[in-house]
């Protein structure tokens, strides 16, 4: 019974860490324009829209976060094996991983922008100075919480995987959660605020991203403010739920039927979420209906 209570406590703590990780991850990737919104940032100068938005083309978010978390965990694991305190080891590991992340971010911005010289897109060196540090700070929060969560799973819940491998798996899951949940807020909404609501992005509007702000010119830091309001918390809830439910079903049902209990509970959870998703989808379609083009409205 005591084990069960401890297990549930660790599950809740890991879920909380994952929520913070998800929120920080999405805010970081939106400030840097990583993932699918990056394609429009990359396209804009080719369509004649010169901008001052960061272009952090490292790779998709899942492999990139797989690297940052696995590297942070690998270094933390190595430092722990030479008898350095676990908390200090995870902080040092995350710090070195964030250094690598920052270097990758600057080389991606410089490389992509220099290759766009033909379209008269200049390199704005002040963007590197101001934005890179902000993405690094958010990435540190995401990496530290993810590695700490993995360490909790191993030490308190007895997970059989070594720390670096577990962090690689959860890092990929973190990147996938942020990419799938948070990016639409930035890529489909924030970049196209000038388009009519619900109009989608027609080919003619491709690359016509918002470049000017309420006052002055839009900076990627403004996108951080926007992401921390909507996309970030949504990604946090998504990743937090994934981690919480994953551990919850294992802790509660693993003893039933030699492990089969946890597998059946997982399948039931997936089915429950499929029903919820389907309900939300049909509800949204009924409530908002298909998009009606303006010409049709005028005709009717």
Partner 1 sequence: MSVKIEASEGGRPHNEILGFGLIGSLVCIYLTYLNVLTGTEIFSFFGGLGAVIALAWGSDTIKHLCSYGLGTGVPSAGMIAFGSGVIAMLFATKFGIAAPVAALVIAALLGAVIGYVSDKVVSMNIPVMVISLIELAIVGALTMMGLAAMAGGSFMFADLVAGSTTVFGIEIASYGSSVIGGSVLAVIFILGSIAVQHPFNACLGPGEQQDRTLMLAAECGFLSMIGVAVISFAFIGFGSAVVALLVSIIGWAYTYMEYIKLSRRDAYDWLDAKPIHEPKGGA
* Three-state SS annotation for 8-39: HHHHHHHHHHHHHHHHHHHHHHHHHCCCCCHH
CB of 178 to partner 1, least distance (A): 16
Q: Quick one: CA torsion of 33, 218, 113, 194, rounded to 10 degrees?
A: 80
Nearer to partner 1, 209 or 262 (CB): 209
Please answer whether residues 55 and 109 qualify as being in contact, where contact means their C-beta atoms are separated by less than 8 angstroms. yes
Smaller CB distance to partner 1: residue 9 or 162? 162
What secondary structure, in 3-state letters, does 147-162 show? HHHHHHHHHCCCCCCC
Nearest CA to 232 out of 177, 291, 154, 296 is that of 177
**For 289, which DSSP code?**
-
Binding positions for partner 1, rule: CB under 8 A: 42, 47-52, 57-60, 63-64, 66-67, 70-71, 73-75, 77-79, 81-83, 96-97, 100, 103-104, 107-108, 110-126, 161-165, 168, 208, 211-212, 217
Q: Which is nearer to partner 1, 44 or 238 (CB)?
A: 44
> Rounded CA gap, 129 and 228, in Å?
21
φ, ψ at 217 (rounded to 5°): -110, 145
Least distance in angstroms from the C-beta of 230 to partner 1 = 26
Q: How far is the CB of 44 from partner 1 (least distance, A)?
A: 9
Nearest to partner 1 of 80, 230 (CB atom): 80
CB of 231 to partner 1, least distance (A): 22
- C-beta of 292: minimal distance to partner 1 in Å? 28
Gap between the Cα atoms of 106 and 169, Å rounded: 26
CB of 247 vs partner 1, minimal distance in Å: 20
Name the token pair of 95: 């710090």
d(CA 55, CA 59): 11
Cβ-based nearer residue to partner 1, 122 or 198: 122
Q: Identify whether the C-beta of residue 33 lies closer than 8 Å to the C-beta of residue 54.
A: yes
Instruction: Supply the DSSP symbol for 47.
Output: G
User: 22: closest CA among 61, 77, 67?
Assistant: 61
Question: Minimum distance from CB of 209 to partner 1 (Å)?
Answer: 11
Residue 106 vs 228, nearer CB to partner 1: 106
Question: Is the CB of 205 or the CB of 269 nearer to partner 1?
Answer: 205
């Amino acid at each position: 019974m005591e084990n069960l209570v401890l297990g549930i406590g660790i599950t809740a703590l890991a879920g909380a860490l994952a929520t913070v990780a998800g929120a920080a991850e999405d805010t970081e990737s939106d400030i840097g324009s990583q993932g699918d919104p990056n394609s429009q940032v990359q396209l804009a100068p080719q369509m004649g829209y010169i901008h001052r938005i960061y272009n952090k083309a490292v790779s998709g978010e899942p492999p990139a976060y797989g690297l940052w978390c696995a590297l942070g965990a690998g270094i933390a694991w190595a430092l722990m094996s030479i008898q350095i305190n676990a908390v200090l080891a995870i902080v040092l590991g995350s710090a070195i991983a964030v250094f690598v992340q920052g270097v990758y971010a600057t080389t991606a911005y410089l490389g992509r922008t220099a290759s766009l010289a033909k379209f008269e897109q200049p390199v704005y060196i002040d963007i590197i100075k101001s934005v890179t540090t902000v993405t690094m700070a958010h990435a540190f929060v995401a990496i530290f919480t993810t590695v700490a969560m993995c360490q909790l799973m191993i030490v308190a819940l007895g997970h059989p995987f070594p720390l670096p491998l577990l962090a690689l798996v959860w890092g990929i899951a973190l990147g996938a959660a942020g990419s799938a949940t948070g990016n639409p807020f930035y890529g489909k909404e924030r970049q196209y605020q000038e388009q009519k609501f619900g109009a989608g992005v027609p080919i003619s509007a491709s690359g016509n991203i918002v470049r000017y702000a309420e006052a002055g010119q839009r900076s990627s830091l403004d996108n951080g403010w926007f992401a921390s309001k909507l996309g970030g918390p949504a990604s946090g809830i998504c990743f937090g739920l994934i981690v919480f439910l994953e551990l919850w079903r294992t802790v509660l049902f693993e003893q039933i039927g030699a492990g089969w209990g946890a597998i059946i509970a997982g399948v039931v959870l997936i089915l429950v979420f499929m029903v919820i998703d389907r309900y939300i989808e049909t509800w949204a379609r009924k409530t908002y209906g298909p998009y009606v083009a303006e010409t049709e409205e005028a005709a009717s």
